[in-house]
Amino acid sequence: MKLIILDDYEQVSEWTAKYIRNRIKKFNPGPDRFFTLGLPTGSTPLGCYKKLIEYHKKGEISFQYVKTFNMDEYVGLPRDHPESYHSFMWNNFFKHIDIRAENAHILDGNASSLEKECQDFEAKIKAAGGIELFVGGIGPDGHIAFNEPGSSLVSRTRVKTLAMDTILANARFFDGDLSKVPTMALTVGVGTVMDAREVQIFIFAFTLIHSLSSSFQNKIKVKAGL
């Protein structure tokens, strides 16, 4: 595990974006060799995405031969809903870069069979050669994606009922109305994330320090962290 401590959100965002940019460039993807990138949503990665867009506009990085796999999506929320993770990714990142729509993989929370959707998502990751770099954030209780504390370390993409703490935390995105917050989601599993060749978790909030401290005390090995 590698820990990097920086002074502020701007530095964390820039460091993370530069790391992603450099990893893709070093990989040197092409038509027959795509770079596979796992991505999160939420407020934490917004600065990173803005930096990556900036690098793309400067001609420093292309996403033409990058395949992305997002961590999660709400169940039952229309994909064009402003708070769906599909809308989040396209509004804040994908539509500003040169990634092809068919290479940006986001779970479908309205699929006719949610279980099959999860199985197909895992199959797509496998067909792509696995995840080269999985980037994620961490919640106040230590959850990654919608994997609440106690989730199996070998869990795969699946349907999850959200914990009340998570619903309460997400209410701010739904006008503070708990009745509008989805109670279920599709999420990659802990095992899905840990199968990546490299994992990068970035944290920026005093309230998350306990989660970071616990990860070190429990000595759960990850390949990289921020």
Break the chain into its structural domains and give their ranges: 9-159+187-217
Query: Which one is predicted more confidently, 138 or 124?
Result: 124
- Please give the pLDDT value at position 7: 82
**Count of Cβ atoms closer than 10 Å to residue 208 Cβ:** 17
What φ, ψ does residue 20 adopt, rounded to 5°?
-60, -45
In whole angstroms, give the CA distance from residue 109 to residue 5. 36
Catalytic residue among 72, 117, 122, 195: 72
In whole angstroms, give the CA distance from residue 193 to residue 163. 20
Instruction: Indicate the DSSP class of residue 163.
Output: P
In whole angstroms, give the CA distance from residue 12 to residue 173. 24
Query: Per-residue pLDDT tens for 54-82?
Result: 999 999 999 999 999 999 999 999 999 99
Beta bridge mates, 205:
none
- Please give the pLDDT value at position 154: 95
In whole angstroms, give the CA distance from residue 158 to residue 125. 14
Catalytic residue among 14, 141, 165, 198: 141
- Predicted structure pTM score: 0.89
Give DSSP secondary structure letters for 167-207: HHHHGGGGTT-GGGS-SEEEE--HHHHHTSS-EEE----GG
Catalytic residue among 117, 122, 132, 148: 148
Active site residue 73: no
Please provide the average confidence, as pLDDT, over all residues in the chain.
90
Q: What is the CA radius of gyration of the chain?
A: 17
Are the C-beta atoms of 135 and 16 separated by less than 8 Å? yes
In whole angstroms, give the CA distance from residue 182 to residue 51. 30
Nearest CA to 38 out of 132, 117, 167 is that of: 132
Query: Which one is predicted more confidently, 139 or 83?
Result: 83
Beta bridge mates, 71:
none
Average pLDDT over residues 113-120: 99
Active site residue 108: no
In whole angstroms, give the CA distance from residue 137 to residue 201. 5
Are the C-beta atoms of 39 and 75 separated by less than 8 Å? no
- Please give the pLDDT value at position 12: 92
CA-angle at 197, arms to 222 and 24, nearest 5°: 120
Active site residue 80: no
Confidence of residue 1 (pLDDT cuts 50, 70, 90): confident
CATH architecture of the domain formed by 9-159+187-217: 3-Layer(aba) Sandwich (3.40)
Active site residue 148: yes
